[in-house]
Amino acid sequence: MNKYLKSKKLRIITLILVLDGLFYGLFNPNSLNLLILVSGILLFAVNIYVYIYFIILLGHKFGYFIKNPVKLSFIIMLVATLILCLETLGQLSAKDIIVTSILGVLIYLYLEYIHPRPKKG
> For residue range 74-119, what is the model confidence (pLDDT) as tens digits?
999 999 999 988 888 888 899 999 999 999 999 888 888 877 666 6
120 located within any domain: no
C-alpha to C-alpha distances, 45 to 52, 73, 93, 106, 113, nearest whole angstrom: 11, 10, 20, 20, 25
Q: How far apart are the first and last CA of the chain?
A: 40
Neighbours of 104 (CB within 10 A): 19
Domain that holds residue 94: 2-114
C-alpha to C-alpha distance for 1 and 45, rounded to whole angstroms: 30
121 located within any domain: no
* Residue 1 predicted with pLDDT over 50: no
C-alpha to C-alpha distance for 116 and 50, rounded to whole angstroms: 24
89 located within any domain: yes
In this prediction the pTM is 0.77
11 located within any domain: yes
* Number of folded domains that form the chain: 1
